[in-house]
Amino acid sequence: MGAGTYTGIEAVSNAVPVMREPKVKTAKRTMRLMAISLAFMAAGLMFAYVLYNVAHEPGKTLNATLFENVTKSWGTLGNYFVIATLLSEAGLLFVAAQTGFIDGPRVLANMALDRWVPTKFATLSDRFVTQNGILIMGISALIMVFLTQGSVERLVVLYSIAVFITFFLSQAGMVRHWWESKTEVKYWWKKFFINGMGLVMTVLILISVILVKFHEGGWVTLLIIAVFTGVVLIIRHHYDYASGLIKELNATIINYTEFADIIRNDTPDKVNMQDKTAVLLVNGFNGLGIHTLYNIFKLFGGIYKNFVFVQIGVIDAGVFKGVEEIKGLQAEVNKDIDKYVGLISSYGYYAESYTSIGTDVVDEITKLAPNILTKFPNSVFFGGQIVFPNESLLSRWLHNYTVFSSQRKLYAEGIPFVVLPIKV
């Protein structure tokens, strides 16, 4: 129904962020070559169908019938040629099927950045994105094959409707983009016109497929998509709710007079690396980090004389675009952690900071821990964990609880780690 032709172009557009520079030029050239080759192949096949009077035969594709008609005078060699051709087509389709497993996790990561799916999928580690993304897609595909009993007719309908929904949404998004950028982009109306044509075409095809195939499995596709939409809306609602609670925590003003009384250092000029050291894991200069620091003094008094702040800059789908973005992430991490060092130093304590950039927070913390312990042998690691008013299966599933993963990892190395609850 044309969906397969469009998916190749869609795959290129999804892969633009990982292309070499110049990315846009490379993507345009690739799409141009694909469009020419697809147009040539489609026109050639349709012309061949007419030339050889190809008609539908039960249990055969049109291409199988075509090549049988072309080679029927070749004898045994013709049979081998048809088999080789069909095997080549199967091989191409197998390679094309991998596009979903390559681009799917990347799309999933982008959705995670916008909080439509669990945020753990935004992390560019093999464990969270590629592996889990492929597992989810593979298991979902097996379920669909099982539910449809492997019916190619129903699977094609499901595929076509779902694909043209994504095409319609992407074209609508581009139309909106060019309209909003009309004062900034030269000749915006050309781009607006092209995407507008794409929007009209994909909408018309989508409506046609739904109407024609509604009773042949189209309604099942719409039901599945509606259920998926409901799930991602629930996930987004939870993250919006959690963001509101975290903003309230960040806005909470600690009584700094009380804070100063609690953390006053009686020996500000004495620095000893052998003293008790609190290693605090932070994620930005925010309410969680400040409240965790406050609770260390509130619970343990002046036991700890040295403080080490550790922050990991996570390379996710939002910053994995080039060297400049990663440099910007490093600068932001340094800026945040310097605020903690400046704060605790102002009260007479010795403070240091350790930072790292990576795709997995726990792995980076594990790498930094030996260096910290070498310099500060009497160290205890601390991490704050937000406690939601109503813990549920959903909240446990949607939040990765990095601090607990870090605790388990360091425990295995014999390193003490204390998790402090921060209620919101």
Q: What does the domain layout of the chain look like in residue ranges? A: 148-251, 256-423
Q: Which fold has domain 256-423?
A: Rossmann fold (3.40.50)
Task: Check residue 388 and give its pLDDT.
Answer: 82
Rg (CA), the chain: 29
Q: What count of other Cβ atoms lies within 10 Å of the Cβ of residue 344?
A: 21
The phi and psi torsions of 357 (rounded to 5 degrees) equal -120, 130
The phi and psi torsions of 328 (rounded to 5 degrees) equal -65, -40
Residues 6 or more apart whose Cβ sits within 8 Å of residue 320:
17, 124
The runs of H, that is alpha helices, within 302-391 are: 323-345, 361-375
- Per the rule left: phi > 0, alpha: psi between -120 and 50, beta: everything else, 138 is alpha
Work out the angle between the directed axes of helices 287-300 and 218-251 (0-180°, nearest 10): 50
Task: Check residue 263 and give its pLDDT.
Answer: 62
Q: Locate tokens 């080039």: which residue?
A: 322
**Burial class of residue 350 (count of CB atoms within 10 Å of its CB; 0-12, 13-18, 19+):** buried
CA distance 140 to 151: 16
The phi and psi torsions of 310 (rounded to 5 degrees) equal -120, 125
Comparing CA positions, the residue from 305, 292, 295, 299 lying closest to residue 264 is 305
Residues 306 and 376 sit within 8 Å (Cβ to Cβ) = yes
**Burial class of residue 211 (count of CB atoms within 10 Å of its CB; 0-12, 13-18, 19+):** exposed
Is this model's pTM higher than 0.95 or not? no
CA distance 214 to 211: 5
Task: Check residue 98 and give its pLDDT.
Answer: 76
What letters, b where the CB count within 10 A reaches 16 and e where it falls short, cover 397-414? Answer: ebbbebbeebbebbeeee
Q: Which residues of the chain have pLDDT under 50?
A: 126
